[in-house]
A and B are shown apart, each in its own frame.
Chain A
Amino acid sequence: MAKRLAELLATWDQTVALAEAELRKLRHDPIELFTRIVQPLLWLLIFGKVMDRIRAIPTGGLPYLDFLAPGILAQSALFLSIFYGISTIWERDSGVLTRYLVSPAPRWTLVLGKALGGGVRSLSQAIVIFGLAAALGVQIRWRVETVLAMLLFTLLGSALFSTLSLIVACLVKTRERLIGIGQLLTMPLFFASNAIYPLQLMPAWLCLLARFNPLTYLVDALRALMLARSQSSLGLGTDFAVLALTLVLLIALAARLYPRILL
């Protein structure tokens, strides 16, 4: 029993090792956090304010800015994570990756650690956006458990998109191609989701696409948890199940592809 526990603890340490590296790097150089905040700020302040005024989007009685804020939070997690594979390409080019791969850590722990590292990055940004939304007068559901659940969903969602990016990195192997594919992916993922307008507003084909888009489930959960007067339209359980299951599948795939980035 004690042995199993020690075993479990060691595997946990292996898993969080790369996430911890990410966190420590962020602490050494937090400037990136501030530059990354500009884009979501513009979405909230300009797009949000203007659309709020024309009241063209049915939001179920919410002010548009409130409706938008969780969408922008999810968007920033997506935009940050979808290019996260670049760091792995950099690690390959510099040689740091070799050190990870010669370690006895199971490949899935390395990949999951990397994904959680992406999650940590998004999380620090999510906290800033959350504060910003509150400052702009968005009616927040101020409860410890919902705020924590919101952070958990953000971590889950960005780990998912980070893993997707890692998979692309393992396949295309160069920075330039990864950036190209990242740009190809972000806008469709963003627009075919409920981030800036509800599913009901979409034509049937787009609505169908949105149902296959993990971002939709992330936005749905964040909206329900973050806002004082909002409910999940898909169900929080469904949101969680879809995101967690997709993450598991992507991790399994990434673990197979990861060592091949060297070849």
Chain B
Amino acid sequence: MAGNDSSSFAVETDQLSRRFGGFCAVDRLTLQVRLGAIFGLLGPNGSGKTTTMRMLTTLLPPSSGSARVDGHDVVGDPTAVRADIGYVPQMLSADPDLTGYENLWIGAKLYRIPRSERRERIEEALDFMGIDQPGELVRRYSGGMIRRLEIAQSLVSRPRVLFLDEPTVGLDPAARRTLWRHLRELRKQWKMTIFLTTHYMEEAAELCGTVGFLRAGRLMHLGSPEQLCHAGGRQRSLEELFLEIAGEPNPSDGNSYAEVVRSRKAIRRHG
């Protein structure tokens, strides 16, 4: 399904903001992500990456400002947005008490995949992500395989934009590299736009055509990794730039308790 305007952007936000009580998690964020790009949203813990992603995936209503995904407004037409996107959250989104295949099967029904195409689409997605034990219960999968299954799960509906929240957290270097390869292929073969968040600067440099740096909910920098590394005539790595931007850790805008629990859980499950 194409967006309802001719814009060449997969994601467009305008002054997008989200406040929780007095705390502003995302502050007037304005950015565009081109169709077919791999975009990385970077920033320290609690900088608003996940909140941004939850607004773009229609899970969280913005406090002000607007956002369009694949041409559809996230508030005005959430169902159209949902039909066009895939989302792999940081947390476990596959049901551990079902098999890999069953997880995709249930998903295919929720996404209104016609009965006649269901099997074929599921097998295609499993095949693409290299899931070789679709009949096993997910709780017996390894961390890397769960991640790949979760991506396979979101491929069944052939989304135009894929959102990945810290996709490689807790994976070992080999599993991480496998995942990178899959993401690059997805972009090439399926012409998919990928919007991801990450803490790993080498991951951003490796994968993303464009990155945005968030700090305390504000967009500090936007550009290709090369541009950012050369900015101001001074050569530095993304890692150094990250430390420059993040500055001294500020106890008040660090992780909330719930976030710590969540990311520790994610790490434990992949570890």
* A31 surroundings in chain B (CB, below 8 A): none
Nearest Cβ in chain A — how far from B184, in angstroms? Answer: 24
* B93 surroundings in chain A (CB, below 8 A): 95-96, 98-99
Q: Would you list which residues of chain A between 106 and 129 have a CB under 8 Å from chain B?
A: 106, 110
- CB of B59 within 8 A of CB of A101, answer yes
A178 within 8 Å of B (CB atoms): no
Bound Cα distance A14, B106 (Å): 9
B179-203 interface code vs A (CB 8 A; 1 in, 0 out): 0000000000000000000000000
Bound Cα distance A262, B60 (Å): 8
Residue positions of B touching A, CB distance < 8 A: 57-60, 79-80, 82-83, 85, 87, 89-98, 102, 106-107, 109-112, 114-115, 137, 153
Q: Would you list which residues of chain A between 199 and 229 have a CB under 8 Å from chain B?
A: none
7 cross-chain pairs, A with B, having the tightest CB-CB distances, nearest first = A95-B91, A17-B109, A103-B110, A104-B82, A104-B83, A10-B112, A99-B93
- CB of A17 within 8 A of CB of B110, answer yes
Determine the main DSSP class of B at the interface with A: loop
* A263 surroundings in chain B (CB, below 8 A): 60
* B111 surroundings in chain A (CB, below 8 A): 103-105
A1-23 interface code vs B (CB 8 A; 1 in, 0 out): 00000100110011011101100
* A20 surroundings in chain B (CB, below 8 A): 106, 109
In the complex, which range does the number of interface residues on chain A fall in? 20 to 34
Bound Cα distance A20, B105 (Å): 10
A25 within 8 Å of B (CB atoms): yes
A28 within 8 Å of B (CB atoms): yes
Q: A14-B112, A24-B102 are in contact. Are A102 and B91 (CB under 8 A)?
A: no
- CB of B98 within 8 A of CB of A24, answer yes
Bound Cα distance A13, B118 (Å): 12
Contact of A16 (CB < 8 Å), options: B83, B98, B109, B114? B109
Bound Cα distance A101, B79 (Å): 10
- CB of A10 within 8 A of CB of B114, answer yes
Determine the main DSSP class of A at the interface with B: helix
* B137 surroundings in chain A (CB, below 8 A): 28
A35 within 8 Å of B (CB atoms): no
Residue positions of A touching B, CB distance < 8 A: 6, 9-10, 13-14, 16-18, 20-21, 24-25, 28-29, 94-96, 98-106, 110, 259, 262-263
Bound Cα distance A13, B137 (Å): 23
Nearest Cβ in chain B — how far from A71, in angstroms? Answer: 32
Bound Cα distance A100, B83 (Å): 12
Q: A29-B97, A259-B59, A262-B59 are in contact. Are A102 and B87 (CB under 8 A)?
A: yes
- CB of A105 within 8 A of CB of B110, answer yes
Q: List 15 A-B contacts (CB under 8 A).
A: A6-B114, A9-B115, A10-B112, A17-B109, A17-B110, A24-B98, A95-B89, A96-B95, A98-B87, A99-B89, A99-B94, A103-B82, A103-B111, A104-B80, A105-B110
- CB of A17 within 8 A of CB of B106, answer yes
* B95 surroundings in chain A (CB, below 8 A): 21, 25, 96
Bound Cα distance A21, B98 (Å): 8
Contact of B98 (CB < 8 Å), options: A25, A94, A95, A103? A25
- CB of B107 within 8 A of CB of A96, answer no
The chain B residue sitting closest to A25, CB to CB, is B97
Bound Cα distance A96, B97 (Å): 11
Contact of A95 (CB < 8 Å), options: B79, B92, B115? B92
